[in-house]
Amino acid sequence: MTNLIVFFSRADENYVCGVLKNLEIGNTKQIASTIEGLIPADVFEIKMKTPYSKGYNQCLDEVQTDLRKNKRPALENQLSSIDGYDTIYLGYPNYWGTMPMAVFTFLEQFDFTGKTIRPFCTHEGSGFGNSLKDIKKLCPTAKVEKGIAILGSQWNMATGEIESWLRSGGR
Ligand SMILES: Cc1cc2nc3c(=O)[nH]c(=O)nc-3n(C[C@H](O)[C@H](O)[C@H](O)COP(=O)(O)O)c2cc1C
């Protein structure tokens, strides 16, 4: 079985235990690295050509505007194909109840027929929101598993949970 870990994550300013801090590595990227340490997988980070602002509040506004416009932001990097992969671990933060629009851009590029998607989401209280429904809409021929939702600011306490999720086949 060949695995691919695909994720979007933002470093910079974010809330940690109620306080705004500058993070060098985003929460979802930390989880992606944990998964990478536990299973054999290739890794692809989805990056926007024009990233969101480093400031948390500006970023909130920019994301809301993109969401309202149902935007598909251009990506800085491209994955040539997903043909060689059976299972795709798809990671993203919950942004206003769904995925970052850059993840929409990514998913719309490929045919997921015969692929299994195992979503992992970081959030600050709302879990997956509508994101699982949105993945199913964007990838109607994929098998989309239940996935795992992790409190982003507590990413460093999630290793045990991730291990058992991986052991259970991602369900
Ligand atoms: C623009 C934006 C919108 C967010 N919307 C939500 C939300 O609706 N629900 C929630 O629980 N957390 C929300 N969060 C918190 C993030 O999901 C959380 O901090 C996540 O771990 C960030 O992941 P990252 O560091 O990998 O980018 C939001 C954060 C940002 C920056």
Choosing from 71, 94, 101, 151 the residue with most ligand 1 atoms within 8 A of its CB, the one to mutate for a pocket test is 94
Query: How confident is the model over 11-34, as a mean pLDDT?
Result: 95
Choosing from 123, 128, 148, 153 the residue with most ligand 1 atoms within 8 A of its CB, the one to mutate for a pocket test is 123
Q: Which domain holds residue 86?
A: 3-168
171 band by pLDDT with thresholds 50, 70 and 90: low
Give the pLDDT confidence score for residue 1 in this predicted structure.
64
- pLDDT single digits (tens) 54-84: 999 999 999 999 999 999 999 999 999 999 9
CATH number of the CATH domain containing 48: 3.40.50.360
Give the pLDDT confidence score for residue 169 in this predicted structure.
78
CA of 101 from ligand 1 middle (Å) equals 13
Residue 123 identity: H
CA of 16 from ligand 1 middle (Å) equals 11
CA of 163 from ligand 1 middle (Å) equals 23
CA of 124 from ligand 1 middle (Å) equals 6
Residue 137 burial (CB count, 10 A): 11
Residue 127 burial (CB count, 10 A): 15
DSSP letters of the chain?
--EEEEE----EEEEETTEEEEESS-HHHHHHHHHHHHS--EEEE--BSSPPPSSHHHHHHHHHHHHHTT--PPBSS-----TT-SEEEEEEE-BTTB--HHHHHHHTTS--TT-EEEEEEEESSSTTTTHHHHHHHH-TTSEE---EEEEGGGGGG-HHHHHHHHHTTT-
Nearest to 28, CA basis, from 45, 16, 42, 13: 45
The total number of structural domains that make up the chain: 1
Nearest CA to ligand 1 atom 16: 123
Residues with CB under 6 Å of ligand 1 are: 9-10, 14, 26-29, 59-60, 63, 93-97, 122-126, 152
| Model confidence pTM above 0.75 | yes
Tokens describing residue 55: 């400031």
